[in-house]
Amino acid sequence: MRPTRQRLALARLLFEPGHRHVTAEALHGEALAAGVKVSLATIYNTLHQLTTVGLLREIVIDTGKTYFDTNVDDHHHFFLERTGRLIDIPGADVALGALPAAPDGLKIARVDVIIRLSDS
Amino acid sequence: MRPTRQRLALARLLFEPGHRHVTAEALHGEALAAGVKVSLATIYNTLHQLTTVGLLREIVIDTGKTYFDTNVDDHHHFFLERTGRLIDIPGADVALGALPAAPDGLKIARVDVIIRLSDS
DNA sequence: ATACTTGCAAATCGTTTGCAATACC
DNA sequence: GGTATTGCAAACGATTTGCAAGTAT
């Protein structure tokens, strides 16, 4: 994985501000706003590569849009339904008791807990 | 909501076999296989209407594809990553301890627990 | 008769892909 | 130079929409 101009710029945008959640579109917007010339295709490439390498985690919350989380530790999420925003919940803050055993030849790859929030 | 031919046929396909998870495409296929002439547009209409009415529940597990669950009780899911299949987990089988409080003016609408399974 | 439904085909949205031009080592 | 990477534009798959024709009450 070569440290190209666009990869470096994207990495800076992603990891400098601390933990965050981005969509490809949003990151693309930020890049352009920051004066970084990148194509959307490259954004997707990079996000997936970083995910493969373990620097990002993909979160499925909403159909039709993929979120990438710069926090790859064990943790969960609040999802604000009205705004589409995500908030991290430290893994320790959600007590999961014994989980049902996985069927036959399968193993638990990950447990996602999503707490969906609406206006009260 | 009128009991039209296609709505009745779809309701039968959905609710007669016991609890299940379907995608619009899959239901469309079944309908055609069962000799029921329905357009995909109507499938989507009907699935959404049934969801609004509370007879179905929408599950987000996978980007780019929406699952509808005929089980609307409190429960969670196993997701078989290799096949894309869903398996219900009774709500009681997952012990959730105290959850972090929802921020300011927000309330918990729902808690989704998804246990992702891969081949072991 | 009137309002609700259907179905087609076109449109949309996020994402992916093919491929030639380009940047990295 | 050789290989990885970029960017464009076209291709995609799932879902939605506009609208004319059909159907329930």
Yes or no: say if B89 and B76 are a contact pair by the CB < 8 Å rule. yes
The answer to whether some atom of strand C lies closer than 7 Å to the beta carbon of B42 is yes
Evaluate if residue A97 carries a pLDDT over 90: no
Domain segments of chain B: what residues?
5-69, 75-117
Q: What are the backbone angles phi and psi of residue B49, rounded to the nearest 5°?
A: -65, -45
Can you tell me the distance from the alpha carbon of A73 to that of A56, in angstroms, rounded to the nearest whole number?
A: 10
Closest Cβ–Cβ partner in A63, A97, A115 for B108: A115
Average pLDDT over residues A11-21: 97
Evaluate if residue B98 carries a pLDDT over 90: no
| Cα-Cα-Cα-Cα dihedral sign, residues B40, B44, B47, B50 | negative
Evaluate if residue A43 carries a pLDDT over 90: yes
Chain A residues in contact with B60 by the CB 8 A cut-off are 60-63
A29-38, B45-54, B97-106, range with the lowest pLDDT: B97-106
- Taking the CA atoms of residue B20, residue B24, residue B26 and residue B30 in that order, the dihedral angle to the nearest 10 degrees is 90
Evaluate if residue A1 carries a pLDDT over 90: no
pLDDT attached to residue B7: 97
Strand B57-62, strand B65-69: pairing? antiparallel
Could you confirm whether domain A5-69 is CATH 1.10.10.10?
A: yes
Average pLDDT over residues B3-11: 97
Per the rule left: phi > 0, alpha: psi between -120 and 50, beta: everything else, A54 is left
Average pLDDT over residues A72-97: 93
Can you tell me the distance from the alpha carbon of A92 to that of A60, in angstroms, rounded to the nearest whole number?
A: 21
Share of chain B above pLDDT 90, in %: 88
Evaluate if residue B108 carries a pLDDT over 90: yes
Average pLDDT over residues B31-60: 97
Can you tell me the distance from the alpha carbon of B21 to that of B61, in angstroms, rounded to the nearest whole number?
A: 12
B108 - beta bridge partners?
A117
Confidence of residue B63 (pLDDT cuts 50, 70, 90): confident
Q: Is A2 in CB contact (< 8 Å) with chain B?
A: no
Å between CA of A28 and C1' of D8: 16
Instruction: Name the amino acid, one letter, at B78.
Output: F
Interface A:B, Cβ pairs < 8 A: 119
Q: What is the average pLDDT value for chain B, to the nearest integer? A: 95
Can you tell me the distance from the alpha carbon of B26 to that of B64, in angstroms, rounded to the nearest whole number?
A: 14
Evaluate if residue B11 carries a pLDDT over 90: yes
pLDDT in tens, B12-28: 999 999 999 999 999 99
